[in-house]
Amino acid sequence: MIQRGGRGGPHILLETSTYTLREFGLFTKGAAMAGGNRIRAKGVLVLLPVLILLVVGPFVVLDHIELGKTQSIGSSTRVTKKYKSSSTLRTTTTTPQTTTSTTLVQEPGGGVQLFLNRQVVAYYGLPGNPTLGVLGTTGASAAWTALNVVAQSYVTAGVKILPAFELITYVAQAGPGPDGTYSKRIPDSVIQHYLSVVQQNNGLLILDIQPGRGSFLKDAKSLAPYLSQPDVALALDPEWEVSSTQVPGKVIGHTTGEEINTVSKWLQGLTLQNHLPQKLLLVHQFKQSMVVDKWATEPRSGLAIVFNMDGFGSWRMKVKAYQLLESYTDFGLGFKLFYHQDQPLGSPQQVMALAPQPNVIEYQ
């Protein structure tokens, strides 16, 4: 079982690969199958990636990636942030990429506010590794076609849907690797391929970081050439940020409000420097302790900061997790669904009935 430890964080007792994780002190994540080892959590939400690292082991270099031709960037964009303390949405307008021109660059699909009458619906994963999500089960073009079918089921009167890929760009490892960070970056050619498919279809690419013993800020800066474009966003996964004495997958990592501020300040500067529209900064969280001093997280003009509930299990427990996450944040919210671990998989109607409605909806 994985149980909530003291200040040292969660600890793991290996019992025929059965894990349980406390969520906000009230619940944990559901049941899953990984590599033949059964993972159980009775009425609670379970941590899929921990199982993956423990069972699957180190990341294997991608061998079978669908390659395609480069396509053009999408047109315009809108971005807004939601604050519980205010009845209004704060919005920011910006302009084009990597240029001194003051011509307005818009969000993919139009506008300058990301979440003004719009939701993001995304597929998540790592190419070549089906265990880590939908993007590992097929090529980029085929995944985009399937994503569009799912996205259409969320279309409602007055609300636009922006399809997106969330691509795991830095992948947590079971071993230190050459740089000792316990994290491995996927090749630029893979990132560019997925960006090309996104741009051809006027969508959004979200680059996800699992830093291991590395640094969110350092890894994000290495992605600046991509993040300087209006249709590329950033995601942080604190679960996989560990100390210099810890190993990803053997503990549940964490970040702090101040570290998020450091990244968001840099990302805000990049956005303003390149005259970009409001940019999404997505922070994954299924456990309160994964973001220490969350109250210190600062809003940033030019950014839409969203905390994404990515636990899996029964629908009742997922809703409870979402509500608890909402009670701890003044920012936008996301909701992730798991094709194989959620029991049962929530319908688009159920997701849209959540209060408040999520800004970002993801499938893994």
Grade residue 109 by pLDDT with cuts at 50, 70 and 90: confident
Nearest to 305 by CA among 289, 285, 322, 323: 285
Burial class (CB in 10 A: 0-12, 13-18, 19+), 221: middle
> Which residues touch 132 (CB under 8 Å, ≥6 apart)?
49, 52, 125, 126, 168, 171, 364
Which CATH code of 1.10.3470, 3.90.25, 3.20.20, 3.30.70 fits the domain covering 65-363? 3.20.20
Given the structure tokens 């994963």, which residue do they identify? 125
Higher pLDDT, 94 or 154: 154
Please choose, from the candidates 12, 72, 58, 6, the residue with its C-alpha nearest in 3D space to the C-alpha of residue 39: 12
pLDDT score at 104 = 60
* Bridge partners for 233 per DSSP: 206
- Say if CB 20 and CB 45 are below 8 A apart: no
The least confident of 69-78, 109-118, 149-158, 333-342 is 69-78
C-alpha dist (Å) from residue 70 to 122, 188, 315: 21, 13, 40
Q: What is the mean pLDDT of residues 287-291?
A: 89
Q: What pLDDT does residue 105 have?
A: 80
Under the phi-then-psi rule, with left for phi > 0, alpha for psi from -120 to 50, and beta for the rest, what region is 9? left
Please choose, from the candidates 121, 128, 126, the residue with its C-alpha nearest in 3D space to the C-alpha of residue 148: 121
- Who has greater pLDDT, 39 or 235? 235
Taking CB atoms within 8 Å and a gap of at least 24, the contacts of 10-15 are: 10/251, 10/252, 11/251, 12/250, 12/251
Mean pLDDT in residue range 81-90: 35
Q: Return the exposure string of 258-291: e unless at least 16 CB atoms fall within 10 Å of the residue's CB, then b.
A: ebbebbbebbbebbeebbbbbbbbbbbbbbbbbb
Greatest pairwise CA separation for the chain in angstroms: 60
Q: State whether residue 156 is helix, strand or coil.
A: strand
Question: What is the residue whose two structure tokens read 């450091």?
Answer: 262
Distance in angstroms (rounded) separating the CA atoms of residues 295 and 292: 8
pLDDT at 62: 37
State phi, psi for 40 to the nearest 5 degrees: -125, 150
Nearest alpha-carbon partner for 210 in 175, 168, 252: 168
pLDDT of 54 above 60: no
Please write the tens of the pLDDT for every residue from 247-282: 999 999 999 999 999 999 999 999 999 999 999 999
Q: Which residues fall within 8 angstroms of residue 244, CB to CB, at 6 or more apart?
A: 213
**Residue 90 scores a pLDDT above 50:** no
pLDDT attached to residue 22: 29
Tell me if the pTM is above 0.85: no
First-to-last C-alpha distance (Å) of the chain: 23
Q: What pLDDT was estimated at residue 312?
A: 85
What's the confidence (pLDDT) of residue 156? 84
Q: What is the pLDDT of residues 155-202, one digit of tens each?
A: 886 789 999 999 999 999 999 999 999 999 999 999 999 999 999 999
Reported confidence tier of residue 94, pLDDT bands at 50, 70, 90: very low
What value does the mean pLDDT of the chain take?
Answer: 76
| Residues 303-309, mean pLDDT to the nearest whole number | 95
- Measured CA to CA, the distance from residue 81 to residue 64 in angstroms comes to 38
List, for residues 8-48, the tens digit of each pLDDT value: 333 222 222 222 222 333 233 333 333 333 333 334 444 44
What pLDDT was estimated at residue 157? 67
Q: Give the pLDDT confidence score for residue 116 in this predicted structure.
A: 83
Q: Which of 38-52, 227-241, 313-327, 328-342 has the highest mean pLDDT?
A: 227-241
